[in-house]
Amino acid sequence: MNQTSVEDLPKVELELLLKAYRLMLTAKAMADTYEENKAICSKYVHSTSRGHEAIQLATAFHITHKDFLSVYYRDESILLGIGMKPYELMLQLMAKRDDPFSGGRTYYGHPSLRREGMPVIPHQSSATGMQAIPATGMAHALAYLESQQLLNLQEGRVVVCSLGDGSVTEGEVAEAFQMAVLKKLPIIYLVQDNDWGISAKGTEMRAMDAYEYAAGFKGMERIRVDGADFVESYQGMAEAFRIARQERRPVLVHAKCPLLGHHTSGVRREWYRGDNLQEHSLLDPLPKLGTYLLELGMSADELIDIAQEVKRDVQIQYEQALAAENPDPATFHLHEFVPTPVTEEKGTRTPANAEKSTMVDAALHAVDEILRQYPEALFYGQDVGGELGGVFREAALLAKKYGDDRVFNTPIQEAYIIGSTAGMSAVGAKPIVEIQFADYIWPGINQLVEELSKSCYLSMGKFPVQSLIRVPIGAYGGGGPYHSGSVESTLLNIRGIKVVYPSNAADMKGLMKAAFLDPNPVVMLEHKGLYWSKVPGTEDAKTLEPDADYVLPLGKAHVVQQASEEQMRQGNSLTVITYGMGVYWAKSASKQLAGSVEIVDLRTLNPLDYEAVEASVKRHGKVLVLTEEPLMNSFAESLAGRISRTCFTSLDAPVFTLGAENLPAVPLNVELEKMMLPNADKVLAAMTELLEY
């Protein structure tokens, strides 16, 4: 342990020691049962806590119902320690209907729990380091809500984030540690070090252990404990919780543990461990605690009786779990999203005496109004705080108006910016975050996919992630390969998130409000070339600004230009299905084809208003799907394929598509950029060919 004197250490009462011993026996009996019934229990891959029980139970005994817990896949003893029953864990092991965490949808040891009297355990992925960012986001939310007097600081809520030693080498863990010390967050990082990955030893994976590594994060308290010794672990965790609760700063606890079970049931320890198995068995925390109890006066017969009682009880619960119902297959599709409260357009879109607003100003005003109305809302990202207020001035003066706790800059950490919102949401904060350019979103994709998108579905709706992620997107005259990209097709391949793409100021404001109020993760793509309506042909992106109560539901397309009845009767009309800058290319091109072109602005790409698409296609029989993205394998091509299938009998020509050339990046030179991207002339040529088909 660290430099705490023996006299200062809390005494561990016999009653608590016996509770720990009983639960260690429970964890062992469960592991033995699974091994004895491999044909059943290894149907789905699982891990157990054998060897880690002492530190896990020591941790669990300090957690309260007001705290937040992020576990990793080996933490079944923590779950037993907070009061979960073996039966409940076995329901997850066997993917049963009444699995309390996921209803049979996710692996053993992957909890998500909201239960009175227990800590909140938000959903998380397989926890090989990725959980550190959402967990730190939880602590960040606690600190923020306490700063706004929305939570009582004196209650000393903390977050516990459990990590395996191998996961600490992940770059995302470094991002989490950096923010924890930068913001002085109340979080305990428990690192359980058994010196193994799967088949790789610690010496193969790292140059230092987690305790040594954490020394590089100034402000991180560090504690070492023998994770196989319950008393030392309990005393060490007592100090960790004291620091986090009272001093409100981060702590890393490094606990050395033996690995007595398999890494997972799918990787058998005997294949590669050799003599190491015998070495680790000598460190088993169960007999160590049993010996200590004998020294305190317990008899061997008393301990044997406890063991036999536990074994019988675990067997009964195993048989009950085995007989439990499987999930109803008809429910497989439920809980991708939770319902949004915004289902109708409300408020005034064109108020009397309103002035025209650019898209960037409409977005700024929307965020300003949200921050004013919702004290739990906060806004962060690179350069959005302080004097600059965003590289596009889209957050101008908000930090001065609302303070650095609510509007602040982050390091260059896209993973943290995105992933922290999962933790924020679980605690009750409502984050709005910004990725500076769409081309910069890639480091955050892991968090978007693994943590945000799956949370609602895998927690059976218990943990939807309320997250509004703003992303400036698209080419804008010489931005080059790192500031001009379009990424919507990649995002649309991530299930469980919504994707919005406004094309004018009024839509920007209404969709921004709806996206914030949506309890699910929403990525809002904002075209830089439309922000100020300076690009020729984009003047209509500047509109009258709606009032503060205006909301526009996601998933509602809009016909921004109609074809004439006469051209439609003559069969000389088409529809353009598009969004973003495509709306203005289509408008400009259609001036040469008076009355022949209907333009549908999708506004939201997921959920997609396909009814509006079908209706428009059936009105005209000819359709052009227009995008700024490179066309091959894009959302536009997918949509075109769907139209071809569902509207086949209404089509008078093949479905045309137009997008950027299939190149890996947008070139810097503006003439090269023009050659790559669509424009009004290219759109006009496609329209003319389609009308003449």
Amino acid at 545: E
Asked if pLDDT for residue 3 goes beyond 70, the answer is no
Catalytic residues: 483
**Range list of H helices, 493-627:** 505-517, 565-569, 582-590, 610-620
Q: How far apart are CA 460 and CA 68, in angstroms?
A: 19
Cross-sheet strand order for the sheet of 597-601: 558-561, 597-601, 574-578, 623-630, 656-660
Q: How far apart are CA 427 and CA 445, in angstroms?
A: 22
**What would the DSSP string read from start to end of 34-51?**
HHHTHHHHTSS-----TT
Fold category of 558-692 in CATH: Rossmann fold (3.40.50)
User: What is the structure's pLDDT at 260?
Assistant: 87
* Among 52-61, 276-285, 496-505, 593-602, the least confident range: 276-285
The string of pLDDT tens digits covering residues 214-271 is 999 999 999 999 999 999 999 999 999 999 999 999 999 999 999 888 777 777 777 6
Residue 126 contacts residue 106 (beta carbons within 8 Å): no
Per-residue pLDDT band for 43 (boundaries 50, 70, 90) equals confident
Residue 235 contacts residue 9 (beta carbons within 8 Å): yes
Asked if pLDDT for residue 175 goes beyond 70, the answer is yes
Asked if pLDDT for residue 474 goes beyond 50, the answer is yes
The string of pLDDT tens digits covering residues 293-352 is 999 999 999 999 999 999 999 999 999 999 999 999 999 999 999 999 999 999 999 999
Domains 356-544 and 558-692 agree in fold:
yes
Asked if pLDDT for residue 6 goes beyond 50, the answer is no
Please enumerate in sequence order all residues whose Cβ is within 8 A of that of 464, keeping only pairs 6 or more positions apart, or say none.
337, 338, 425, 455, 456, 519, 520
Mean pLDDT in residue range 37-64: 92
Can you give 305-332 as a three-state secondary structure string?
HHHHHHHHHHHHHHHHHHHCCCCCHHHC
In terms of DSSP bridges, do strands 543-544 and 356-357 run parallel, antiparallel, or are they unpaired?
A: antiparallel
Asked if pLDDT for residue 195 goes beyond 90, the answer is no
Asked if pLDDT for residue 198 goes beyond 90, the answer is no
CA-derived radius of gyration, the chain: 29
Q: How far apart are CA 476 and CA 403, in angstroms?
A: 32
**What would the DSSP string read from start to end of 160-221?**
EEEEEGGGGGSHHHHHHHHHHHHHT--EEEEEEE-SBSSS-BHHHH-SS-HHHHHTTSTT-E
Mean pLDDT in residue range 506-524: 98
Mean pLDDT in residue range 129-153: 95
The string of pLDDT tens digits covering residues 579-624 is 999 999 999 999 999 999 999 999 999 999 999 999 999 999 999 9
Per-residue pLDDT band for 391 (boundaries 50, 70, 90) equals low
Higher pLDDT, 477 or 662: 662
User: In the chain, what percentage of residues exceed pLDDT 90?
Assistant: 85
With tokens 């919780």, the residue in question is 241
Mean pLDDT in residue range 493-506: 98
Mean pLDDT computed over every residue of the chain: 94
Mean pLDDT in residue range 507-512: 98
Please enumerate in sequence order all residues whose Cβ is within 8 A of that of 394, keeping only pairs 6 or more positions apart, or say none.
360, 363, 364, 384, 434, 470, 472, 526, 531
Query: Could you give the C-alpha distances from 648 to 28, 110, 613, in angstroms and in order?
Result: 62, 45, 13
3-state helix, strand, coil in the chain (%, to 5): 45, 15, 40
Per-residue pLDDT band for 520 (boundaries 50, 70, 90) equals very high
Query: Could you give the C-alpha distances from 205 to 47, 371, 626, in angstroms and in order?
Result: 21, 45, 48
The CATH number corresponding to 356-544 among 2.40.50.140, 3.40.250.10, 3.30.43.10, 3.40.50.970 equals 3.40.50.970
Asked if pLDDT for residue 7 goes beyond 60, the answer is no
User: What is the structure's pLDDT at 2?
Assistant: 54
Asked if pLDDT for residue 11 goes beyond 70, the answer is yes
User: What is the structure's pLDDT at 275?
Assistant: 77
Q: How far apart are CA 126 and CA 400, in angstroms?
A: 40
Spelled out in words, what is the top-level CATH class assigned to the domain 14-323? alpha beta
The candidate with the shortest Cα–Cα distance to 69, out of 127, 11, 15, 108, is: 127
Task: Look up the pTM and report it.
Answer: 0.94
State the first-to-last Cα distance of the chain, in angstroms, to the nearest integer. 80
User: In the chain, what percentage of residues exceed pLDDT 70?
Assistant: 97
Per-residue pLDDT band for 392 (boundaries 50, 70, 90) equals low
Per-residue pLDDT band for 4 (boundaries 50, 70, 90) equals very low
User: What is the structure's pLDDT at 551?
Assistant: 98
User: What is the structure's pLDDT at 527?
Assistant: 97
Asked if pLDDT for residue 499 goes beyond 60, the answer is yes
Write down the domain spans for the chain: 14-323, 356-544, 558-692
User: What is the structure's pLDDT at 280?
Assistant: 85
Asked if pLDDT for residue 17 goes beyond 50, the answer is yes
Greatest extent of the chain over all pairs of C-alpha atoms, in Å: 99
User: What is the structure's pLDDT at 394?
Assistant: 64
SS3 256: strand
Q: Tokens in use for 29?
A: 């009996």
Mean pLDDT in residue range 134-141: 97
User: What is the structure's pLDDT at 278?
Assistant: 80
Q: How far apart are CA 213 and CA 148, in angstroms?
A: 33
Per-residue pLDDT band for 5 (boundaries 50, 70, 90) equals very low
